[in-house]
């Protein structure tokens, strides 16, 4: 899809949908788009402006604000467009945080 994610186990939580988030990796903070999927017990976090390999690294995710509910898309093009829009909204939202 062009939006690599860190996949983190998500168990015993009430969160679901798309969130503006913060990720901390190796002491460095990144803005992130996070998708919480309780059915799959998975949190997928796309770290904005991150390049590198996250395998084997410790990552901390803090969810700030829900952007939207999860939804089904008719095709990959529509899904990619929605993710790109989510990222634009998240950048605007988190850019205003102190």
CATH architecture classification, 6-95: Beta Barrel (2.40)
pTM: 0.86
Q: Outline where 1-98 has alpha helix (H).
A: 76-95
Give domain limits for the chain: 6-95
Q: Give mean pLDDT, residues 49-76.
A: 89
Cα–Cα distance, 74 to 98 (Å, whole number) = 38
* pLDDT tens per residue across span 29-51: 999 999 999 988 999 999 998 98
Residue 70 pLDDT > 70: yes
DSSP SS3 for 12: coil
């Amino acid at each position: 899809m062009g939006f690599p994610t860190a996949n983190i186990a998500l168990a015993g939580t009430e969160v679901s949908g798309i969130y503006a988030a913060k990720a901390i990796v190796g002491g460095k903070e990144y803005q992130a788009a996070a998708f919480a999927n309780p059915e799959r017990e998975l949190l997928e976090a796309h770290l904005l402006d991150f390049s590198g390999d996250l395998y084997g690294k410790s990552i901390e995710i803090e969810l700030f604000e829900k952007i939207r509910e999860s939804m089904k898309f008719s095709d990959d093009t529509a899904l990619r467009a929605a993710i790109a829009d989510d990222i634009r909204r998240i950048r605007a939202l988190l850019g205003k945080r102190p």
